[in-house]
Structure 1
Amino acid sequence: MDYDPSKEVRLTGSTMDTLDPVKATDTSSGAKIQNIFDGLTNYPDGQTNVENLLAESLDVSDDQTTLTFSLKQGATYNNGDEVTAGDIVYSWERLAASENSRRASFLLDDLGVVHETETETNSEGEEVERYVPGSIDVNAVDDYTVEINLRQAFYAATAMIAYSSFVPVPEGIVGDIEGYDGQMDYQEFATTNPVGAGPYELDSWEQATEVRLTSRDDYHGEEPTNAALHYTIFQETNPAYTYATVNVNADFPVVPDDKYNPELRSFDGTDDRGRRYGSYGPFEENGLTADYYEVSTLDCRYVAFNCKQVPKPVREAVGYAMNQQIITDELIAGPAKQAYFFTPPGIFPGGPDAYTERQQDYKYGYQSSDLQAAKQVMEDAGYSADNTYSLSFDMSNGYASYVGEDLFSLLRDQLTTAHIEMELNTADWSTFLNRARSGNVGMFMLGWLADYPGLDNFLKLLNPPATITDKDDNVGYVNWTEDNGDFAGQAEEGWQQIVDNYGLSESDVEARAEGGWKIEEAAMKDAVMLPFMHSVDQGMSYPWVTKPRSGAMGGSRQMNHTIKVGDRGEHE
């Protein structure tokens, strides 16, 4: 297809939180960060295999605990500075020590970079270990060589480093760690002038309106084949549908669940990664037929609880009422897979066969609802028609319009017989996410997409100490403790078994699987999280667009500088 490199790519997006790589945790922010910043390694087109990006080569010690990266020489940031090993040291220190970092544990605990800690007493009188600033064992051997020392071998080291929190920024660009005053104000860096080594730079960001990234002509990698990425922001799906599909103002259709018609799919084949591809259309709204493919992603959509607020009997009652088959077959029109556990089948403890076997014994019923059990567990806890429980169901506007409103209506009607009165609370994405992080939710709907393809990346969210919303680096938001869950101790034990066996041997793999199942089982028994779907993403693009298919890591992990835009005809 002929294409015009001077054209911008027209996309739709949702609200985002920040463009600081160490602070961003949502996929909307992550999609832009993926295009502004480059890391040492990368998931090409969101696939699970890892390739070098800023790294020229990697040398690994015999015991797998020392990683020595040689950097590509001549790679520059969008401010013209060359990427050096000192930038890696500075950027990873920000990840470890900055008050803005939300992913310090990925570096210090999961990847396990050697570092020092000191004992402090927190506000609740508990002794805790804190990172000693400046102590990570990450060293610039010279301008283009960085040495990383780990406390033990980590099976997914290069995959973890591909996660966007690990990308380098120029040394001293902001002053949020000891020893640096900063070349610019932090808010400028995080919102208007992010400095990265990726193929794009930020042109503009209007919080609830649009984001525009322009391509760089001095990018160190493959030359961009488009001039810019222009995201128009929507808080709900239906306005995005009108913009992208009815009016064809975007290069990629948006199809709400109630507009999706599986009969419009036509498959031509299956590629070497198992993705079915073909076409979708013609659209009744515009007469166009889109290129189409489906890919199973490493993700999970789920309902979870702030256990500090929502008692266990209420959580269990919701579990008994929820029928995953009804959700995927009737509430969601597009392709989807039922979920009974948080970890996707491809990386489940023991593998896909173990997932299939264990789902048959799901505590709350496989492909069924048990409203009598829901009522019984509530009445055993003292609830009745005269003593009901009021449950808030919190979610983003996007989730609400996708499946959340329908699921709310279904559960609300079912759970009245179990003495639960539900109310729905929605907000734009960033507002909702900040509420969840702060523990200002009851029952909530969220999803998790793999940061790296390992079971521990998912189950970290169910390690009870990491779920406490009072902590700066909490990741689960469920406030799960032994005070509100009988099996929280089992989950902690399972997590410790995982982190004690991060190596590459067969025995390590088996031990991680055993620890992983302990966590999954504990979360199920305490009804901390109720998974309902593993996604099958649908890629659609209009005929004038050529875009590589994304992989199991999802489209938000994909760089977009190789998208090509041709003649849009009347839709220009």
Structure 2
Amino acid sequence: MDGGDGGTPTDDGDGGDGMDGGDGPQSGGTMNLINATMTSLDPVAVGDTASGIVANQIYEPLFEYPNGEPEAEPRLAANYDVSDDFTTYTVELADARFQNDGGELTAADVIYSWERLAAAENTARSYFILDSLNIAYETNDEGAYEPGTLAIEAVDDKTVEFTLERPFHSTLEMLAYGNFAIHPENIVGDVPGYDGQIDQETLATSESYGTGPFVLDHWESGEEAEVVRYDGYREEDRPYLDAINWAIIEDDEAEYTYSVNENADMLEIPTGQYDPGKVNVENEEGDKAFGTYGPLDSGSASGEEVNYMRVPEISTRYLAFDIPNTPRAVRQAAAYAINRREVSDSLFKGRQPPGWHFTPPSIFPGGAEAYDEHVQNEYPYGIEETLIDEARQVMEDAGYGEDNPYDLTINAYNAQVYVDIGENLRDKLQAAYINVSVEPTEFATIIQRGQEGSLQAYTLGWIADWPAPDNFLQLLAPEFSDVQELGQQALSYINWNRSDSEYATQAQEAWETISDNLEPSDEAEQARRDAYLQIEEANWQECGFINLTHGLGERFWYDHLHVEPHGGMGGSRQRHGETWKEQ
């Protein structure tokens, strides 16, 4: 699943690279890239990484992850101040002008944008502002948000102040999330008190009103999207590029062919076409490695080496089950059968490190060393091995056998490596009385079927919205997994809230502890840390999610492109105002 501009499944990473200025940046040209299926460019409705990649070039929030680095910095915020109790934030706005003559950025635009995030019909992440960030608000008789009551006000035209119901340890990081991007007051009339100038469908598909370096030129669903230089952008002589074009390509082989024929400036090299022996790391800078990849073996670039970069990515990839509709024995058998080292080395060809927790190592309580220690001491199913005898035994104990097998359908994200993972598991589980059917499925279809409650098992991934364990573990929170209750607002489709198991209770209680201890204090942090482990261990026992790997972002690019390397929050968070292309 995704988290807005984060969390969509990826076959490989999308890496990063370095500037080697030569004679200095040149203006002009179109950067050609590849993207997956997009769903919306309305800032509050963006719910997948592919849409977020494009929207991020158009819209800007008050804070950002510069080049995808995990430390939030001001973007549309010129200055800010925080009260001693960490509940009141006062933000002075930068000078910026909206595209399509949307006017100057004011505090009223911030108030309107966040009201849409909280209350618009098409909002994808209302819980981010109402629950996670928890800006104070009033409720109606049903206990739901009363529109127009967010505790946010204009101090003056260029200063906005908002108050949280309680302190939150990742406030600035949350405000860097793409759904908090600012757009002009009253541009759409989909919240009370605003009539609107255009309809929501227009904002979502064909017109843009951001403050970013690029403005939407066109989006042809399933074909391509293109943004062009915004001449009113506030940074002098930026962006360097005239345009960015994304070809929408879902098929691995088609992505690779498009890339090696030099149609894309950044190449997509799916795992099926990837050769780890062609990676040559020449130097390392911090957590990033730089070098070359090649020679390429086909296309017009055959024989060439291209630039290469990799960085650990704060993400996870998983197999998930609808808990009430899939027996625990089946889920446990799958956990016994999956060998993460095999998945990492053989199926991902070493491109994605194996993962046992849902929380990635870099943000795990205590870091990577504590991550490994907890796995070694507590993981119940075998760490780097397939335990097929145990898988068979747990199924026999549940009453299954050769004459009474269980039928399981896995909707695997339609990238070959995810299909391979499903088929690898299928072959193993035959010996444990489970007949697995693997159905390659487009991302949008997985989301649709998940919201309909018609998935039995599925593979997806999640990249950080903000770099903290609670951003990942919210997917495990039973209260956020109830599709029947939440519909499109459900964060996952495991329906753990509809299970009466002791592990569901343990997970819900752990999540409530997290939710009750969100302030930036040492005491609250320790309470969260303990609860993080409790919810991870509850999931291990329940096997609602079986984690597979964590992310390693990779990027491949031709010499004529110059783009800053990105950090662990992923290349999808990178704005390309500084990117340039040799002419």
Place the TM-score, normalised by the shorter chain, in its bin. over 0.9
Is structure 2 residue 471 aligned with structure 1 residue 426?
A: no
Does residue 60 of the first structure (1) align with residue 82 of the second (2)? yes
Q: Provide the rounded CA distance (Å) in 1 between the counterparts of 2:68 and 2:271.
A: 24
CA drift of 1:133 comes to: 1.2
1:229 alignment counterpart: 244
Shift of residue 220 of structure 1? 1.7
Asked if the contact 2:477–2:511 (Cα under 8 Å) also holds between the matched residues in 1, the reply is yes
Higher relative contact order (CA closer than 8 Å, sequence separation 6+): 2
| 2:49 aligned partner | 27
Residue 175 (structure 2) pairs with residue 161 (structure 1): yes
Q: Shift of residue 551 of structure 1?
A: 0.3
Shift of 1:378: 1.5
Shift of 1:4: 4.2
Question: d(CA) in 1 for partners of 2:454 and 2:187?
Answer: 34
Distance of aligned partners of 1:504 and 1:56 in 2 relative to their CA distance in 1, 3 Å threshold: same
2:10 maps to what in 1? none
SS in 2 for 1:414: helix
Is the aligned partner of 1:506 residue 2:522? yes
Could you tell me which of 366, 382, 385 is aligned with 1:365? Answer: 382
> Who is 1:151 aligned against?
165
Matches within 5 A, 1:492-531: 492-531=508-547
Question: Alpha-carbon deviation of 1:119?
Answer: 4.3
1:282, distance to aligned residue in structure 2 (A) = 2.3
Equivalent residues of 2:98, 2:183 under 8 A apart: no
Paired residues, number: 554
The aligned amino acid for 1:358 is H
Q: Is the 8 A contact 2:57 2:576 kept in 1?
A: yes
SS in 2 for 1:159: helix
Kindly indicate whether residue 280 of structure 2 is the aligned counterpart of residue 266 of structure 1.
Answer: yes
Deviation at 1:484, TM superposition (A): 5.5
Contact 1:486/1:526 (8 A) holds in 2? no
Match of 1:437 among 451, 454, 457: 451
Q: Is 2:400 aligned against 1:387?
A: no
Question: What is the deviation of 1:309?
Answer: 2.1
Tell me the amino acid that sits aligned with residue 347 of structure 2: L
CA contact 2:324–2:498 (8 Å) conserved in 1:
no
| CA distance, structure 1, for counterparts of residue 46 and residue 483 of structure 2 | 17
Q: Residue 331 and residue 312 in structure 1: after superposition, are their counterparts in 2 closer, same or farther (change >3 A)?
A: same
> Given residue 575 of structure 2, which amino acid in structure 1 is its aligned partner?
M
Give the CA deviation at 1:482: 5.4
- Quickly say closer, same or farther: Cα 1:228–1:79, change in 2 above 3 A: same
Q: What is the CA–CA distance in structure 2 between the aligned matches of 1:318 and 1:263, rounded to whole Å?
A: 31
CA contact (8 A) 2:138 2:146 kept: yes
Instruction: Give the residue type in structure 1 aligned to 2:390.
Output: A
- Taking the aligned partners of 2:292 and 2:543, their CA distance within structure 1 comes to 41
- 2:490 corresponds in structure 1 to 474
Asked whether the 8 Å contact 1:14–1:28 carries over to 2, the reply is: yes
Give 2:550's match in structure 1, choosing from 512, 525, 534: 534
CA contact (8 A) 1:375 1:418 kept: yes
Q: Is the aligned partner of 1:279 residue 2:292?
A: yes
User: Given residue 557 of structure 1, which amino acid in structure 2 is its aligned partner?
Assistant: R
Query: How far did 1:82 drift?
Result: 1.2
- Given that 2:563 and 2:578 are in contact with CA atoms closer than 8 Å, whether structure 1 keeps it comes out as yes
* TM-score of the two chains, using structure 2 as the length reference: 0.92
SS of 1:130's equivalent? coil
Q: 2:579 aligns with which of 535, 541, 563?
A: 563
1:240 pairs, out of 255, 259, 263, with 255
Of residues 73-82 and 544-553 in structure 1, the stretch that sits farther from structure 2 once superposed is 73-82
Residues 102 and 184, structure 2, Cα contact 8 Å, conserved in 1: no
Which amino acid is the alignment partner of residue 59 of structure 1? D
Q: Percent identity?
A: 38
Q: Distance in 2 between matches of 1:311 and 1:81?
A: 57
Q: How big is the shift at 1:515?
A: 1.1
Match status 1:374 vs 2:391: yes
Gapped regions of structure 1 (runs ≥ 5)? 121-128, 568-572
- Are positions 1:14 and 2:36 aligned together? yes
Alpha-carbon separation, structure 2, partners of 1:446 and 1:78? 37
Normalising by structure 1, what TM-score? Answer: 0.94
Q: SS at the partner of 1:214?
A: strand
Measure the CA separation in 2 of the matches of 1:92 and 1:502: 21
Q: Distance in 2 between matches of 1:235 and 1:291?
A: 23
Once the two structures are TM-superposed, the CA of residue 452 in structure 1 deviates from its matched residue by: 0.7
Partner of 1:124: none
Q: What is the alpha-carbon distance in structure 1 between the residues aligned to residue 319 and residue 198 of structure 2?
A: 40
Gaps of 5+ in 2: 1-21
2:503 corresponds to 1:487: yes
Residue 36 (structure 1) aligned to one of 52, 58, 66: 58
Answering whether residue 348 of structure 2 is matched by residue 332 of structure 1, we say: yes
Question: In the alignment, what sits opposite 1:123?
Answer: none
Q: Quick one: structure 1 residues 351 and 274, their matched pair in 2 at CA, closer, same or farther if it must change by over 3 Å?
A: closer
Residue 307 of structure 2 aligns to a residue in which SS?
strand
Whether 2:218 is the aligned partner of 1:204: answer yes
Greater mean alpha carbon deviation, residues 9-18 or residues 472-481? 472-481
How far off is 1:376 after superposition?
Answer: 1.5
Distance in structure 2 (CA, Å) of the matches to 1:16 and 1:184: 21
User: For the structure 1 residues 447 and 255, does the alpha-carbon distance in structure 2 shift closer, same or farther, using more than 3 Å as the test?
Assistant: same
Select between 62-71 and 135-144 the one with higher mean Cα deviation.
Answer: 135-144
Structure 2 residue aligned with 1:216: 230
SS in 1 for 2:103: coil
Picking from 418, 421, 430, the partner of 1:407 is 421
Asked whether the 8 Å contact 2:423–2:438 carries over to 1, the reply is no
Q: 2:121 aligns with which of 99, 110, 118?
A: 99
Q: In the TM superposition, what is the alpha-carbon distance from 1:221 to its structure 2 partner?
A: 3.3
In 2, the alpha carbon distance for the partners of 1:25 and 1:80 equals 24
